[in-house]
Amino acid sequence: MLPFITPIIAAIASIGRSWLDIRKVKAEGKISITQAKIQSKIKRYEQIGEMDITAMKGMQFSWKDEFLTILLSIPMVMCFVPVLADFALQGFAILTQTPEWYRWCFMGVVTATFGLRTWTGWKK
């Protein structure tokens, strides 16, 4: 046969192997990145779970959940009592005149008490 064909075929095969090796390395890199993202999410959810457990232990002897539940229920109950319904509505009208920062602070207290993740879940 022709003696120059063998080196050409060898060179083409070498280029093909190099190209396949590059593709393999890129694929492995993408897999590593995906695995790292998954591990990061797993770690984040584990940390959230630990924070929940810590928060529940801290609230074990707390009365603020019950206090806020009662406080937030009062206007609703007032709406069902005809004599008090107007007072509840007037109270909400007056609340709209309070500074916005005050309303945000109150919402912050409520969300911190009942759970921030619940609040962020409403956005979705």
pLDDT tens for the chain, 124 residues: list them: 567 777 777 777 788 788 888 888 888 888 889 999 999 999 988 887 787 777 777 666 677 778 888 888 999 999 999 999 999 999 999 999 999 999 999 888 888 777 665 555 555 5
Task: Locate the domains of the chain by residue range.
Answer: 1-60, 62-124
Residue 29 is predicted with a pLDDT of 86
Cβ-Cβ contacts under 8 Å for 9 (sequence gap 6 or more): none
- Tell me if 78 sits within 8 A of 87, measured CB to CB: yes
Handedness of CA 102, 106, 112, 115 (dihedral sign): negative
By CB atoms closer than 10 A (0-12, 13-18, 19+), residue 78 is middle
Q: In Å, how far from its chain's centre is CA 25? A: 33
Residue 17 is predicted with a pLDDT of 80
Residue 68 is predicted with a pLDDT of 84
Residue 85 is predicted with a pLDDT of 94
Residue 59 is predicted with a pLDDT of 66
